[in-house]
A and B are shown apart, each in its own frame.
Chain A
Amino acid sequence: MWGIIRQKVGTGGISAPSMERIRPAVSAWRCYSSSGKEMTVRDALNSALDEEMSADPKVYVMGEEVGEYQGAYKITKGLLDKYGPERVVDTPITEAGFAGIGVGSAYYGLRPVIEFMTFNFSMQAIDHIINSAAKSNYMSAGQINVPIVFRGPNGAAAGVGAQHSQCFAAWYASCPGLKVLAPYSSEDARGLLKAAIRDPDPVVFLENELLYGESFPVSAEVLDSSFCLPIGKAKIEREGKDVTITAFSKMVGYALKVINLRSIRPLDRATINASVRKTNRLVTVEEGFAQHGVGAEICTSVIEDSFGYLDAPVERISGADVPTPYAANLERMAFPQIEDIVRAAQRACFRSVPMAAAA
């Protein structure tokens, strides 16, 4: 793969030094200097939960295996011992029931953090997320607000099959009344989860199982218990001049110069458009399905706001339009890989490969 890229570089376009740095997942980003402290995403989420529970007695955690099991993915490890079973509540396997109970408790003024073991299971509870939570403040004209967080792993894991691999970002982000966040790094995880818990509105917090074990440098500021990131602001991970690439969650680690969306709803259209107005080219990257996806929304948004600035059609990289297969080779083909993103960026830059041939 490396050899192929180097040859293509010779034909012009994307600069050689930047191409060298394409590496899988996260390691590309460890090049910047830091305080020296690193933290896994798992620990980032755990510490954020701990701090927010400590600061506000109304915050509690509810979900399957969150207590005695220490969390299916250990995100809630240690919380039961620290806060007790009244605030770290193990539930039966009844998503509709406990999501509804969570929302009802939020109506009363508590601040629940409801964990879905994966967001695939949230579909059993989606009526409560949308109809009971998202719409209540509006239907009641402000009488009933719902300060709830629904969190858990979203999107593909590895080899878990079709029913356990779907990305729900587009589904939830289409609904007014919800806020939808997708952290990538440990800094994102801490800052966004704290923001979500403090937010008076319902927040869908989309984590990624494969990122839980990844380490990222964290500054002293990030480690402070008051650290919080604003909802609705994307992060420009790496400024580029040739093409704007947007991504969220795990896909951020795959792309080179990328805008890490962080917030799917509200979408930071200002940052995306400002970048496109500089580079004149856009590639959107997501794990989820293309049709009606996050990329489709970003593309339309840019067309609405910055059409005159586009020098090439927007390239949309997404998961394959199939239920996720199990076989390793097919699964790999079902999700964007680095080479897909590179190809798309190249197409956007000099259209050397016809769009129809794209994966």
Chain B
Amino acid sequence: MSLIHRSSSLLKPLAAGPASLLRRPFSSATDDDATKITVETSVPFTGHRIDPPPRTIDTTPKELMTFFVDMARMRRMEIAADSLYKSKLIRGFCHLYDGQEAVAVGMEAAITRKDCIITAYRDHCIFLGRGGTLLEAFAELMGRKAGCSKGKGGSMHFYKKNGGFYGGHGIVGAQVPLGCGLAFAQKYSKEDHVTFALYGDGAANQGQLFEALNMAALWDLPAILVCENNHYGMGTAEWRAAKSPAYYKRGDYVPGLKVDGMDVFAVKQACKFAKEHVLKNGPIILEMDTYRYHGHSMSDPGSTYRTRDEISGVRQERDPIERIRKLILSHDIATEKELKDIEKEVRKEVDEAISQAKESPMPEPSELFTNVYVKDHGVE
């Protein structure tokens, strides 16, 4: 599929190759992997019942560029989905993730595809991170055959099992016990893999979360509960919903870490740390301090319960893509124009995927009755 080529063509300039988008200041490919850049997270980690990992992290130019491209792609996808929803090509619910890209990208950088991720309904970017394509995403949003769920799931039900992504869940909080179940199965199968179960600050108060966390702790399951705290559960600010909005402490006997979720390196560091921890010690909670620019969903303007100043303030001070752009520029890894060209390329990528998705037909009427059971034949 051409989309897979695209991401490597954006990265290709870092290796010797024709028609590079980026003119590298370095002379050989190996330099990009060998050159070590040390960065510091924006703020130190705060630990609950655990010594936090260090805030200095090593990275490479290649990794920085990958982060930039991946987050730019996610950002572009969500903005495009906004337009598609307004043109009524996407129906029903559409929960956008723009602003939170660092969590998806940082997490992915710390783990493998054999580790599992499960999340709620704000799932488009996690899907992309797990290896899903833009075409599969847009086609699913528009209810077409080429969608990752063949058009039968919709925005909230993206899956990519062969990439370790178990959905895409519409019932707030349900994904947390399910994620602990994935971890249970990984332990049962004696694998050295872990599960990241993502949930929001709204879901953090769900009883089933504590039920599952209790069992995960009792049985030492390799489960990492990740609270994507974007500070608003739909229209309700965290302080109105939680007596204690210190979500990383809510596990009580379970250790926790508070992480700047807008800093992709902090996220990567925390996830790497968490994976090592849970394989030996049972569950941990990561609270990602993050922010969504859009409202809860496309039906929510997102400005009745928060000020526009707050939103633009976060965009200015903490935007995850801007942070990486600044790092790239300050380390002379690429020029402003090169980065802008990458963004243009990404935009083209997204536009192409959308037109391909628009070409994809709706599912056959006979698909109404398929997949109810594994073997549908013979069942009423």
Q: Which residues of A contact B (CB under 8 A)?
A: 60, 86, 89, 91-92, 94, 96-110, 127-128, 131-132, 136-145, 176-177, 179, 200-201, 232, 265-267, 269
Set B116, B159, B174, B375: member contacting A131, Cβ < 8 A: B174
Asked whether B373 lies within 8 Å of A104 as measured between CB atoms, the reply is no
Asked whether A269 lies within 8 Å of B380 as measured between CB atoms, the reply is yes
B293 at the interface (CB under 8 A from A): no
Asked whether B372 lies within 8 Å of A141 as measured between CB atoms, the reply is no
A141 and B154 alpha carbons, distance in the complex (Å): 11
Asked whether B178 lies within 8 Å of A132 as measured between CB atoms, the reply is yes
Known interface pairs A104-B118, A105-B182, A107-B181; 6 further A-B residue pairs with C-beta atoms within 8 A, sorted by A's residue number: A108-B182, A108-B189, A110-B185, A141-B370, A177-B372, A200-B373
A275 to chain B, nearest CB (A): 17
Q: B178 — nearest CB in chain A belongs to which residue?
A: A104
B43 at the interface (CB under 8 A from A): no
What would be 16 A-B contacts, judged by CB atoms less than 8 Å apart? A86-B188, A91-B215, A92-B211, A94-B211, A97-B180, A98-B211, A100-B180, A100-B208, A101-B178, A108-B166, A108-B182, A108-B185, A136-B167, A137-B373, A200-B373, A232-B380
B 346-380 binary contact with A (CB < 8 Å = 1; else 0): 00000000000000000000000011111100111
B153 at the interface (CB under 8 A from A): yes
List A contacts of B371 (CB < 8 A): 137-138, 140-142
List A contacts of B375 (CB < 8 A): 200
Q: B177 — nearest CB in chain A belongs to which residue?
A: A100
Asked whether B149 lies within 8 Å of A97 as measured between CB atoms, the reply is no
Q: B153 — nearest CB in chain A belongs to which residue?
A: A139
Asked whether A143 lies within 8 Å of B171 as measured between CB atoms, the reply is no
A100 and B216 alpha carbons, distance in the complex (Å): 12
List A contacts of B211 (CB < 8 A): 92, 94, 96-98, 100
Q: Using A107-B182, A139-B153 as known contacts, say yes or no to A100 and B176 having CB atoms under 8 A apart.
A: yes
List A contacts of B183 (CB < 8 A): 104
Q: Using A92-B214, A140-B157, A140-B167 as known contacts, say yes or no to A104 and B188 having CB atoms under 8 A apart.
A: no
A41 and B355 alpha carbons, distance in the complex (Å): 60
Asked whether A139 lies within 8 Å of B152 as measured between CB atoms, the reply is yes
Q: Which of B151-166 contact A (CB under 8 A)?
A: 151-153, 157, 159-161, 166
The winner among A86, A142, A179, A200 for most chain B CB atoms within 10 A is A142
Set A86, A98, A137: member contacting B374, Cβ < 8 A: A137
A100 and B151 alpha carbons, distance in the complex (Å): 26
Q: B159 — nearest CB in chain A belongs to which residue?
A: A140
Asked whether A139 lies within 8 Å of B149 as measured between CB atoms, the reply is yes
A125 to chain B, nearest CB (A): 9
Asked whether B207 lies within 8 Å of A60 as measured between CB atoms, the reply is no
Q: A91 — nearest CB in chain B belongs to which residue?
A: B215
Asked whether A132 lies within 8 Å of B174 as measured between CB atoms, the reply is yes
A121 to chain B, nearest CB (A): 13
List A contacts of B378 (CB < 8 A): 232
Asked whether B185 lies within 8 Å of A97 as measured between CB atoms, the reply is no
Q: How many A-B residue pairs have CB under 8 A?
A: 152
A303 and B116 alpha carbons, distance in the complex (Å): 49
A251 and B215 alpha carbons, distance in the complex (Å): 38
Please provide the 4 A-B residue pairs with the shortest distance between their CB atoms, ordered closest to farther. A104-B181, A100-B177, A97-B211, A108-B185
List B contacts of A107 (CB < 8 A): 166, 178, 181-182, 185
Q: Using A92-B214, A127-B171 as known contacts, say yes or no to A139 and B157 having CB atoms under 8 A apart.
A: yes
Q: Using A104-B179, A109-B185, A177-B373 as known contacts, say yes or no to A97 and B157 having CB atoms under 8 A apart.
A: no
A265 and B373 alpha carbons, distance in the complex (Å): 12
List B contacts of A140 (CB < 8 A): 149, 153, 157, 159, 161, 167-168, 371
Q: Using A101-B212, A141-B371 as known contacts, say yes or no to A96 and B178 having CB atoms under 8 A apart.
A: no
Asked whether A97 lies within 8 Å of B374 as measured between CB atoms, the reply is no
A96 and B151 alpha carbons, distance in the complex (Å): 29
Q: A265 — nearest CB in chain B belongs to which residue?
A: B380
B184 at the interface (CB under 8 A from A): yes
Asked whether B159 lies within 8 Å of A143 as measured between CB atoms, the reply is yes
B132 to chain A, nearest CB (A): 12
B285 to chain A, nearest CB (A): 16
Q: A140 — nearest CB in chain B belongs to which residue?
A: B159
Asked whether A266 lies within 8 Å of B372 as measured between CB atoms, the reply is no
A141 and B374 alpha carbons, distance in the complex (Å): 10
Asked whether B149 lies within 8 Å of A266 as measured between CB atoms, the reply is no
